[in-house]
Structure 1
Amino acid sequence: MSAQVLRSTLCVAPTHACLAGHFPGRPLVPAVLLLDALAGLLETRGQRMLGLSEAKFLAPLLPGEHAALEIVAIDAAQWRFHIIRADTLIACGRVRVAPA
């Protein structure tokens, strides 16, 4: 299998409904929204995310900040992901996938 690379950008608007109760006064983008963006990017290639093999959330993403999402196929059943804001690694890990 030749290496497949998918890239996207993400930015959660400061008005997103989930932020109202997520650390009031200093909201952070919840990890579940980052994982939802990851799942959505995989779906564009006909892959369904089954679960996380490994995930590290290393820095917060604030509402309105832009981040790059990159995923690289390891094999037919796993992809490695990185979410990066400027020069800061926000999250990384591996996901298990299956055809949608």
Structure 2
Amino acid sequence: MSGSRTLAIAADHPAFAGHFPGRPIVPGVVLLDEAVQALEAEFALPPTCWKLASAKFLSPVGPGDVVTLSWQAPAASGAIAFRLACGERAVASGTLAPPDAAR
């Protein structure tokens, strides 16, 4: 199953205070956390079922940016490829895998 979901990262998220004065951006760890939580909810799996197999950050996300998470159907290995975008602009991509597949 493939799908997508809009991620809600509040414009007043506490991470903006330290990343970075004068040009706030969403830290990559916050983007990944939001993506993983959404995928866990989508597939009804506990957090311990995932390992981050890969991640690539392509473009910064700022306060008020609307982030869309999209994913591909799990592969035979159980891995899920995902992409984060602001409109047409790709901001990050990665793969979540079961713990034994991420090695």
Alignment correspondent of 2:59: 59
Larger helix fraction of residues: 2
CA distance in 2, matches of 1:46, 1:92: 21
Q: RMSD of the alignment, in Å?
A: 1.7
Alignment correspondent of 1:24: 21
Instruction: Work out which of the residue numbers 7, 31, 34 in structure 2 matches 1:10.
Output: 7
TM norm structure 1 = 0.83
Alignment correspondent of 2:91: 90
The answer to whether the 8 A contact 1:53-1:94 is kept is: yes
TM norm structure 2 = 0.80
Alignment correspondent of 2:38: 41
CA distance in 1, matches of 2:39, 2:68: 15
How far the C-alpha of 1:75 sits from its partner, in A, is 2.9
Extract unaligned runs of 5+ from structure 1.
none
The answer to whether the 8 A contact 1:11-1:63 is kept is: no
CA distance in 1, matches of 2:78, 2:24: 34
Residue identity (%): 34
Query: The residue matched to 1:69 in structure 2 has which SS?
Result: strand
Extract unaligned runs of 5+ from structure 2.
none
Q: How big is each residue's C-alpha offset from its partner over 1:35-75, in whole Å with a ceiling of 9 and x where there is no partner?
A: 11111112212223522211110101111100210112223
